[in-house]
Amino acid sequence: MVTLSSASLILLFLLHKYRVVVIRRTLFITACLYTLRTVMMLVTQLPSGYTNNSAKCRPELPLKERTLNVYIQRTLEQTVHVGFQDNTKRMLCGDLLFSGHTLVMIVATLTVDRYIPSAFRILRLLPRIFACVGVPCMVISRTHYTCDVVIAYLSAVAIFSMYHAFCEIESQSDRSRSILNSLPLMRIVGWLEENTINFKSKNEFEFPFMDALGRNLRIERRTMPGERADKCVTSNSPSLTVAIEPV
């Protein structure tokens, strides 16, 4: 379900007319959430919820074996697999509070719900279904505790809502008087959205590179008649020269 939610979000990025703005906002919100998740994991450690943790999880390394190479290897391993792990092998456990999978599904649901054009509003149901199925499955499979997914849901909704609530304030004077402006995070949002208009009513789809292709075709059509005229003059000029030379 995480993969399907991510696919729906990527498809929105590709088709949205103002994809650069949507991608920038989504990446910033996701970065904030994962930064908060990192802080939570550093200050809170929960035991894994599997029935037999010793069979599911890799053993904890002694302090002497925790070298820089081990950290780099595990970081690259998680990066290549995009956070997914093979259930048939022993996994890295302990990254529980809070759920990163829930963050992806909720952010995808909120983003698609906000930025999809009204003509395609029926498609909003897809990421909602993915999230409604995927989140309970993580609790049932003991991958996460219930508190993990609840905190992830509340955090994603809170940061997503605050970001877009601040963006909907159009004038700089109103933004400076807003209670949201007292948050340090909103100072960065104000800088990111300084030259961006409100896109709430401008959700449109377009195929990538179609505008550039259309402009090139129009330019070619405009230049073709001129090229034909030049060719006609060039082809006729020798005969004119021959006719004039005897005179």
Q: What Cα–Cα distance (Å) separates residue 137 from each residue in 27, 132, 165, 212?
A: 26, 9, 31, 44
| CB distance 33 to 155 below 8 Å | yes
The secondary structure of the chain in percent helix, strand, coil, rounded to multiples of 5, reads: 70, 0, 30
Q: Which own/partner contact pairs does 41-47 have at CB distance under 8 Å and 24+ positions apart?
A: 41/94, 41/95, 41/96, 41/97, 44/97, 45/94, 46/94, 46/96, 46/97, 46/145
Per annotation, catalytic residue among 144, 174, 211, 230: 144
Q: At residue 61, what are phi and psi to the nearest 5 degrees?
A: -75, 140
Per annotation, catalytic residue among 16, 81, 95, 148: 148
The residue count of the chain comes to 247
Question: What CA–CA distance (Å, rounded) separates 13 from 243?
Answer: 65
Residue 144 is among the residues annotated as catalytic for this protein: yes
Residue 148 is among the residues annotated as catalytic for this protein: yes
Q: What Cα–Cα distance (Å) separates residue 202 from each residue in 16, 19, 116, 209?
A: 10, 12, 10, 19
Chain centre distance of CA 119: 22
Per annotation, catalytic residue among 81, 101, 164, 230: 101
**Catalytic residues, which ones?**
101, 144, 148
